[in-house]
Amino acid sequence: MTSTILTTAQAHPNNILRSDGGRAAEPNIFLAGGRDIPDNRRMHQIETRMDRVKLNVENRYEHFESTSEVRDVEGRSLRVYKWIYRTYVAE
């Protein structure tokens, strides 16, 4: 099983520059479900398809699992990752 932690730099809107200084990264996944996740943190760009991703939100990680669903968001077809559980960052 492959997984990754999503960073703020991978989030939409299109003000994220690629590491080579090129044009903004286009989101290719949508995070569905979960609570208290801002709408502007639901679209992300990942280079390689992962089975699971986790999103750092304040003092916790929201965990999502890949689905076969594709959702049209803002004119883009995005692979849907469904919320599965939450863990908290140890202090």
Q: What pLDDT tens digit does each residue of the chain (91 aa) get?
A: 667 777 655 554 444 444 455 556 788 899 999 988 888 889 988 888 889 999 988 889 999 999 999 999 888 899 999 999 999 988 6
Q: In a 10 Å sphere around its CB, with 0-12 CB exposed, 13-18 middle and 19+ buried, how is residue 86 labelled?
A: middle
Phi, psi of 12 (to 5 degrees): -75, 155
The pTM (predicted TM-score) of the whole model is: 0.78
